[in-house]
Structure formats: C-alpha cells, structure tokens
Amino acid sequence: MKYRIWIPVLYTCFLLLMIGCDTVVPEAPAEKDLLDGPIPGLTHEEQDQFLKGDIAFNDDVFTPQTGLGPTFVATSCGSCHPGDGKGHPSTSLIRFGQTEPNSPINAPGAPQLQNRAIPGYQPEKLPEGVPSMKMTPPAVTGLGLLAALTDQQILENTDPNDEDGDGISGVPNYVTPPDYFIPEDHYQPENGKYIGRFGKKASAVNLLHQTATAYNQDIGVTSTFEPLDVYSGLTTDPEVSDQVVRDVVFYLKTLKAPIQRKPQNPLVLKGKGIFTTIQCSSCHTPQWTTPETDITALSNKTFYPYTDLLLHDMGPELDDGATEGSAETYEWRTPPLWGLGLSPDSQGGKYFLMHDGRAESIEEAILMHGGEAQNSRDQFQLLSPEEKEALIMFLESL
C-alpha cells in the first residue's frame, strides 16, 4: 500500500515542476537563429499588413477548389520557403525555353516547368532537347532592403569590361518588365528594359513581379497581374486577390534581414579578413545603405547582404545552357550570403547550396565557383586548414 502514498506525491511534484518552470510554454528560439519576423520599426498599420502577408505566405494552402494548378510546382509559398529560408531539392523548379540572351522564349510550356498536377491531369513534361536550369528556392529574408536600393547604386559596381583588371565584371540583367510594373523614380531603364534584382538570374524586376509570377508559375494560380492559366493558356477569373498579392509583397519587403551570429568571435573575424583577402567580397558585396523609401523602417539603413545583385560568369561547370533576360547561360546573379549558416534549419538539417542545390557543404560550394570566381576559388584552395575553417565559420555566422 505504501506506493499509493509516494507515487502520487512524486507524480504531483513532477507535474508541478513542469508547470512551474519555464517549460510550461517552450521558449522562443533566439531572434538571431530565426529568419522570420518583421524588420524593427514598423508602424501598427504596417505590422497589421505584415501579419496578413505572413498568413497568406506561410499558411494559405491552395487546393483544386481554390485554384491550385491544374499543373503546378507547389501548393503554397511556405512549401518552398520553410521558415522563410532556403528550400529543398524536393521543391526545386525548372526553367527552360530561352537558350540565348534576349532571344524569344519559344519552347511549349516555357518558361517554367509545372512538374506536378492535380488528380486527373498530367503534369507538364520538359520538351526533348531543350536546355533547362534547376533552381532551389532561395531564402526570402531582407528582400525589402535590396528592393529599396537605387539602380544607380547597383550600376556603380558594374564593370562589364573589367577596366580595373581584377578579373571580375559584374553586369545587370536587363529584363522586359510585365505590364503591371510601375517604375519608381530611381529606376534607370535601358531600351525599355529594367534591371532585374530577384531570382537566381535576376529575372524579376521587383517583388510584385516576383510574387505575382510565383503565384502563377509555381502554384498555377491566376491574378489580375498574371491572368493566364498556366495549363490552358487562357484568361481565367482571378484565383488570388490583388490585396493578398500586395500583402505578400509587403510581407516580403518587411521581413527582417538575417542577424549575424557570433560576429566578434576571433575565428569569425579572422574568416572575415580572409573573405576580403581572397576577393570573395568583390562580388559578395558586404555592405549597402538604403536611401529614403516609402517605408520608414527601410529608409537609410545600412545592411550586410553580401551580394552585388549583378550577374557574373561562373564558368562552364555552372553553365546549364538555359537563360533568362539578358543573362548568358553561364551567368548567375550573386546570391546574398546572409542567413547562409541558417540554411540547414530550413533544408532538413543539410546544406543544398548553389543555384540548384548541388553543393552539400559550404566548402563544396566554394569549389564549384569558376569563371570570374576562379581566382578566389584557387586562393581558397591554397589556404591552410585553419584558415579554411575560419572562413567557413565566418560564412556560417552570416
């Protein structure tokens, strides 16, 4: 009978202990370990729109009844960008149809392959013999800061003829904007085309372009911006409202930038120095400052994305044979490195890096750099193991 006394006492103590300590509600992960969350300084009205965009981006799942497909790549925005981070090879998408810069897109079903279909339909198949490029979904954090930069700021880093002789010649991708694109004062068009900033080849002019296209090409959902159904090619009633699209654009604009971890760690600081020494920073431009913008919280902010938003020749190993806009088949936009160390938290505990996720570690990704990055890659290979470790630790801290 004694157990009847001490068992309940022990059990009740155990329960009270659990209830009494911090585990009643699990603690939030540290802010620096998360990619989601708004930039500081939003007004209440802006926070409200951020929340609406957050729900539309992360929680809204499309079904055949709400417009999914009939052919599609994913069922929601959050499927491809878990926690607003990089995506996984299972949600990669394929672009095809343009094999020469500035040439027409003429393959049936191009520019994007909808490789999934709702029941009763067949997914799109890649036409035979057409070059294609696979793209893993990028992280979507800090995009508003990049969007706020002026074209002039981006153009200041171009060097198409490599006049400084450093072997690096970034160029913008000039793309034809969609009809609904309304240029702001700081845009500098060239022959009716505008600088693309978003996407693996910088094919999207702004976040509205990126978002409306993604709804249409990724989910098979039409809007007033992109009214053509990807399967039939016909105009359909909008399946997502203008307001929802704009809420998602606002959400993407106001997602905070990744926060660097351990910035003062001696190894991280040493790695940062090596990053500059071996000229990684020539393309992965560390620092930018925004001008005045329509969102106060984004105005006059200095931030550290580690990208120049320009296209660079990455060598034959990364030449997929397909292209977008004025980009060559071997050119890729410098991806931002911020948040790199948090990639495994959204990629199932592993790294899937480079544009198509083919690199499974940071070192592997560095060694895949060719073309204009060949010199930096060679210098990386000459580093001592300790220096390599410091460099990678720095990259993981971003």
Partner 1 sequence: MKKIILLFLILFSTINANAQVDSTLFKDTPRDTLAEDTMNMDAVYERPFFQAGTSPVSVGGYIEADYQYIGEDGITEGHTFRVPRFTLFVGSTIHPKVKFLSEIEFEEGGNEIAIEFAALDINFFPMLNFRGGIIMNPIGAFNQNHDGPKWEFVDRPIAMTEMLPATWSNVGFGLYGKRYVNDWAFGYEVYLTNGFDNSIIANGENKTFLPAAKENFERFEESNNGQPLITGKLAVKNQNIGEIGLSYMGGVYNTFEDDGLILDEERRLDVFAIDFNTSLEKTSTYITGEWAWVMVDVPETYGQQFGDRQQGGFVDIVQPVFRQPLAGFENAVLNLAVRLEYVDWNVGTFRETGANISDDLWAIVPGVSFRPSAQTVLRLNYRYMQQQDILGNPAAKIAGIQIGISSYF
Q: Enumerate binding residues for partner 1 (CB under 8 A).
A: 4, 7-8, 11-12, 14-15, 18-19, 23-29, 60-61, 63-65, 68, 72, 74-76, 79, 82-83, 88-90, 92, 115-120, 122-123, 345-350
Q: What angle do CA 262, 31, 24 make, to 5 degrees?
A: 120
The smaller minimum CB distance to partner 1, of residues 22 and 163, is found at: 22
Give the SS3 label for residue 38. strand
* Smallest distance, partner 1 to C-beta of residue 76, A: 6
Identify each DSSP E strand in the chain by its residue range. 71-72, 93-96, 112-113, 116-117, 132-135, 173-175, 194-196, 288-289, 302-303, 311-313, 331-333
- In whole angstroms, the minimum distance from the beta carbon of 8 to partner 1 comes to 4
Distance CA 135, CA 140 (A): 14
In whole angstroms, what is the distance from residue 286 CA to residue 274 CA? 13
Q: Which residue number, 54 or 313, has a Cβ lying nearer to partner 1?
A: 54
Q: Nearer Cβ to partner 1, position 64 or 167?
A: 64
Query: Least distance (Å) from partner 1 to the CB of residue 64?
Result: 5
How near is the Cβ of 27 to partner 1 at its closest, in Å? 5
Helix, strand or coil, per DSSP, at residue 391: helix
Q: Which backbone phi and psi does 281 adopt, to 5 degrees? A: -75, -5
Q: How far is CA 295 from CA 39, 42, 82, 286, 299, in A?
A: 11, 8, 26, 23, 7
Backbone CA torsion sign across 291, 327, 364, 165: negative
In sequence order, the β-bridge partners of residue 77 are none
Min CB(58)–partner 1 separation in Å: 11
Q: 134 by DSSP, 3-state: which?
A: strand
Q: Identify which of residues 325 and 357 has a Cβ nearer to partner 1 in the complex.
A: 357
Rounded CA separation 312/382 (Å): 23
Specify the residue, 356 or 389, whose C-beta has the smaller distance to partner 1: 356
Q: Cα separation of 243 and 4, whole Å?
A: 62
Nearer to partner 1, 345 or 387 (CB): 345
Query: Smallest distance from the beta carbon of 363 to partner 1, in angstroms?
Result: 19
Between 259 and 274, name the residue whose CB sits nearer to partner 1: 259
- Beta carbon of residue 143, minimum distance to partner 1 (angstroms, whole number): 21
Classified as helix, coil or strand, 113 is strand
**Shortest CB 208 distance to partner 1, Å:** 25
Question: Residues 6 or more apart from 237 whose CB is under 8 A from it?
Answer: 222
Q: How far apart are CA 40 and CA 100, in angstroms?
A: 43
Is 119 or 192 the residue whose CB approaches partner 1 more closely?
119
CA distances from 355 to 145, 287, 359 (A): 21, 22, 9
Is 256 or 312 the residue whose CB approaches partner 1 more closely? Answer: 256
State the minimum distance, in angstroms, from the CB of residue 51 to partner 1: 12
